[in-house]
Amino acid sequence: MFANEAVGGLLGIDLATVTERSIDAIFREAAGAHPADQVRAAVEESDRRAVEFAVESESVRVAAIDVDQQGSTYVAVTVRERRSGSDEEGPESRRDTVDRKRDEERLEALNETTRELLTAESADEIAQIGVETIAEQLPYDVAAVRLFDESSNALELRALTDSAAALLDSEPAYDLEATYAGTAYRRGEPLVNDPTDDPLADEHVGRPSLHVPVQGFGTLSVLATDANGFDEGVVEFVRLLGVTLGIVLERVTRERTLREQRDELDRSNRVNALVRDIIQSLLDASTRSEIESTICERIVASDLYEYAWIGKLGSDDEIVPSTSAGDATGTLHPTAGTGLFEAGMDAISDAVASGEIETVRQYHVAGQDVESSASVTDAEPFEVVAAIPLEHRLRIYGVLVVNTTRMEILGERARAEFELLGEVAGFAINAVRNQQLLLSNRVVELEFEVTDESSLVVAVSKALDCRCNLEVRSSDEGDGVRCYLRLADAARDDVERTLREIPAVEAVDVVTQTGQEYLVEIIQTEPLSRDLIRTGATIRTAVGDGGTGTVVLEAPQSADVREIVDRYQSLYPESSLVAKRERECGSRGLGQFRQTVADELTEQQQRVLEAAYEAGYFEWPRDRTGESIAEALGISSPTLHQHLREAERKVLSAFLEDDERASRD
């Protein structure tokens, strides 16, 4: 039995007792007698009959109405208070419509909807089932489901009944009570908007509306067909439907997340296998051309990417394509058309400049292609391109460009794999270059005369009016490079002061002093060696004397001499090439010996060995003690001697083993 609070008030009993007991028992307890026979007769005769009885000296009129005898008995009872001495009925105190058959039908419909929702696979499908259930089970044909969209940070319409869609078409400015829907979403509880009393309001504005939350995902809204509003049964049905939609949406969201994670893992495994396969293949490559073609062909053969190409760095850092594979149609490639190519060249240039992977997304908007930096509110991505630098020890050997129409294939994990590929490819190209250099046994020397004060040796020698010799280029120190300068005929105070005023110098330390000659250790933040490393050239000697410098660069025969000269003169405009010559590297042992030692020594061992050598530690008598060198390097004396002993062992091993091989040859 169901009853509202007014029934309990009239009968003088607790509402809980009303809803848990039979009609006979309730009225007998309240009135001492109950006209059960009359009410039962009214039910049996399908008659709208009223009977009267006294409740605590008050007159109460009980009417049995809406009798239905289709297999079950359903009774709707109205209880009215009668004023004393008058036939006029008092205010109506209606019992909730106890139409159990209708309630059971709605409950069964909700169960059927739940079964249908179990097969739904998307939020849109769930939302559509929700509004269709409203239209089928309730006497309301305007319903809508809104779901929260994180990208717009707003509730977006995801499903409408046909009548709701027609209403929006006829009234574009009407938003189906979006404000009230938002309030229900934020509060997490149903909200009923009472009709307005404004006689000038539009017809649909004057109707009540009901909005229930959908478990944190959005709202379900219903617009009444008239001004009578919603009874409690309707509100409860819509609320339960909203809860059901929320539960199913949570399941679908969870399943989608798990599916995306599985797909991401599968893609990552495929990209990982691809990169590992390419790296393994590079071990057998003997030329740069073979390295580049292997990379591009394997990438395209994987079916993960549509196109791949590798570009070399030309003069003025121009990207010159050298190898490609796949279909270039619509791809960010020089042959694909100026528009697309120029759209992503900034990303490729950034990858070369920064040594980091850069990506650019191409979007399609109303028949035109735009890059990701444009306004793409209504655009759909159709291509994503990644530029991967091929780098080894600060030198950029080129850039690998890959494209795909599958946005997810270039995610964070794939970027990490391609970063590894770029490093290994750079290493392989460098190894091939070194091998060719050793086999050729000849190098090219380029001698420049420079007066540009941005050159370190020119600036120092001019400021101190001394001779400045750049003797050693050592290991990287974060953003800088450790260098040694040997200065002659310069006062010590002037040396430190002058060097500290040079913007490119980060730290200064006078290592040794012999008469008027000083050995100074500095950290240079903008070293020439790093600027030239892309070209394959290295600094053989760099000497400054009274503001004029002589710099000799060394490069393999295979290097692009024009590129080296252009690069150097772009860095130091006040310079000129005064000599170009070729020379023998010496016996095969010299270059090979240096390479062997460099490969064996750790960075710290090389740093300690160079510092000790330049400080005169190996002279007799020693120019500087191990303790003072250790202090200058910021390490303990035992650590210094440990690194020195290990470095000496590796140098001697390389020398003696090479000597034994030479004697056998």
C-beta of residue 556 within 8 angstroms of C-beta of residue 629: no
Long-range contacts of 34-41 (CB under 8 A, 24+ apart): 35/62, 39/64, 39/77
DSSP at 196:
P
Query: What is the C-alpha to C-alpha distance for residues 363 and 93, in angstroms, rounded to an integer?
Result: 65
Averaged over 566-581, what is the pLDDT?
91
- Identify the domain boundary among 438, 454, 489: 438
Question: Could you give phi then psi for residue 132, rounded to 5 degrees?
Answer: -65, -35
CATH, residue 44: 3.30.450
- Burial (Cβ within 10 Å: 0-12, 13-18, ≥19) of residue 355: middle
pLDDT confidence bin for 514, thresholds 50/70/90: confident
The answer to the question of residue 260 being in a domain is no
Q: Please give the single-letter amino acid code of residue 606.
A: Q
pLDDT at position 632: 85
Cα 406 from chain centroid (whole Å): 16
DSSP per residue over 416-466, as a string? HHHHHHHHHHHHHHHHHHHHHHHHH-EEEEEEEEE--TTSHHHHHHHHHTS
pLDDT at position 59: 43
Query: What is the C-alpha to C-alpha distance for residues 50 and 38, in angstroms, rounded to an integer?
Result: 8
The H-or-E segment that residue 396 falls in is strand 395-404
The answer to the question of residue 261 being in a domain is no
The answer to the question of residue 542 being in a domain is yes
Q: What is the domain range of residue 635?
A: 586-665
- Identify the domain boundary among 65, 98, 131: 98
- Residues 152, 249, single domain; the answer is yes
The H-or-E segment that residue 505 falls in is strand 505-514
DSSP per residue over 585-603, as a string? --SHHHHHHHHHHHHHS-H
Length of the chain as a residue count: 665
- Residues 579, 478, single domain; the answer is yes
Nearest to 76 by CA among 84, 65, 91: 65
C-beta of residue 365 within 8 angstroms of C-beta of residue 400: no
- Residues 473, 484, single domain; the answer is yes
Query: What is the C-alpha to C-alpha distance for residues 245 and 127, in angstroms, rounded to an integer?
Result: 8
- Residues 393, 355, single domain; the answer is yes
pLDDT confidence bin for 290, thresholds 50/70/90: very high
Q: Which two tokens stand for residue 599?
A: 């490969």
Quick one: what percent of the chain has pLDDT higher than 90? 17
pLDDT confidence bin for 21, thresholds 50/70/90: low
Across 21-35, 234-248, 326-340, least confident range: 326-340
pLDDT digits (tens, 9 = 90+) for 452-502: 988 889 988 988 888 999 875 555 555 677 888 899 888 667 788 888 888
Averaged over 82-108, what is the pLDDT?
54
pTM over 0.75: no
pLDDT confidence bin for 665, thresholds 50/70/90: very low
DSSP at 407:
G
Averaged over 350-357, what is the pLDDT?
80
pLDDT at position 394: 74
- Residues 175, 308, single domain; the answer is no
- Residues 574, 592, single domain; the answer is no
Answer with the residue of higher pLDDT: 398 or 379: 398
Answer with the residue of higher pLDDT: 205 or 405: 405
Averaged over 400-421, what is the pLDDT?
84
Q: Please give the single-letter amino acid code of residue 551.
A: V
- Is pLDDT of 198 > 50? no
Residue 354: which residues within 8 A CB-CB, separation 6 or more? 389
- Residues 156, 141, single domain; the answer is yes
Across 12-16, 142-146, 344-348, 417-421, least confident range: 12-16
Averaged over 50-72, what is the pLDDT?
41
- Residues 90, 128, single domain; the answer is no
CATH, residue 594: 1.10.10
Q: Is the dihedral of CA 577, 579, 583, 589 positive or negative?
A: negative
Query: What is the C-alpha to C-alpha distance for residues 512 and 628, in angstroms, rounded to an integer?
Result: 10
- Is pLDDT of 62 > 60? no
- Residues 563, 665, single domain; the answer is no
The answer to the question of residue 268 being in a domain is no
Q: Please give the single-letter amino acid code of residue 544.
A: G
- Is pLDDT of 18 > 60? no
- Is pLDDT of 136 > 60? yes
Across 72-86, 98-112, 448-462, 577-591, least confident range: 72-86
Answer with the residue of higher pLDDT: 338 or 192: 192
Averaged over 661-665, what is the pLDDT?
40
Q: Is 362 helix (H, G, I), strand (E, B) or coil?
A: strand
- Residues 465, 563, single domain; the answer is yes
Answer with the residue of higher pLDDT: 3 or 304: 304
- Is pLDDT of 381 > 90? no
- Is pLDDT of 392 > 70? yes
pLDDT at position 107: 80
pLDDT at position 70: 37
- Burial (Cβ within 10 Å: 0-12, 13-18, ≥19) of residue 320: exposed
- Identify the domain boundary among 555, 585, 615: 585
pLDDT digits (tens, 9 = 90+) for 586-613: 544 555 666 777 778 888 888 888 888 8
Averaged over 408-425, what is the pLDDT?
86
Alpha helices for 172-231 (secondary structure H)? 178-187
C-beta of residue 321 within 8 angstroms of C-beta of residue 333: yes
- Is pLDDT of 260 > 60? yes
Using alpha carbons only, give the angle 94, 100, 106 rounded to the nearest 5 degrees: 110
pLDDT at position 296: 93
- Is pLDDT of 372 > 60? no
Nearest to 448 by CA among 535, 551, 542, 544: 551
The answer to the question of residue 279 being in a domain is no
Answer with the residue of higher pLDDT: 648 or 36: 648
Query: What is the C-alpha to C-alpha distance for residues 430 and 263, in angstroms, rounded to an integer?
Result: 36
The H-or-E segment that residue 663 falls in is helix 637-664
Query: What is the C-alpha to C-alpha distance for residues 273 and 267, in angstroms, rounded to an integer?
Result: 10
The answer to the question of residue 646 being in a domain is yes
DSSP per residue over 38-53, as a string? HHHHHHHTT--EEEEE
- Is pLDDT of 52 > 90? no
The H-or-E segment that residue 651 falls in is helix 637-664
C-beta of residue 121 within 8 angstroms of C-beta of residue 248: no
C-beta of residue 264 within 8 angstroms of C-beta of residue 289: no
Query: What is the C-alpha to C-alpha distance for residues 190 and 206, in angstroms, rounded to an integer?
Result: 19
Mean pLDDT of all residues belonging to the chain? 75
C-beta of residue 654 within 8 angstroms of C-beta of residue 593: yes
- Is pLDDT of 119 > 70? yes
Query: What is the C-alpha to C-alpha distance for residues 224 and 85, in angstroms, rounded to an integer?
Result: 41
Report the largest interatomic distance among the alpha carbons of the chain, rounded to a whole angstrom: 138
Answer with the residue of higher pLDDT: 199 or 228: 228
- Burial (Cβ within 10 Å: 0-12, 13-18, ≥19) of residue 51: middle
CATH, residue 315: 3.30.450.40
- Is pLDDT of 662 > 60? no
- Residues 349, 229, single domain; the answer is no
- Residues 137, 25, single domain; the answer is no
C-beta of residue 145 within 8 angstroms of C-beta of residue 238: no
- Burial (Cβ within 10 Å: 0-12, 13-18, ≥19) of residue 229: middle
The answer to the question of residue 264 being in a domain is no
pLDDT confidence bin for 314, thresholds 50/70/90: low
- Is pLDDT of 286 > 50? yes
Residue 36: which residues within 8 A CB-CB, separation 6 or more? 23, 24, 27
Across 309-313, 520-524, 592-596, 637-641, least confident range: 592-596
How many domains are there within the chain?
A: 5
Nearest to 74 by CA among 28, 23, 144, 4: 23
The answer to the question of residue 339 being in a domain is yes
pLDDT at position 389: 92
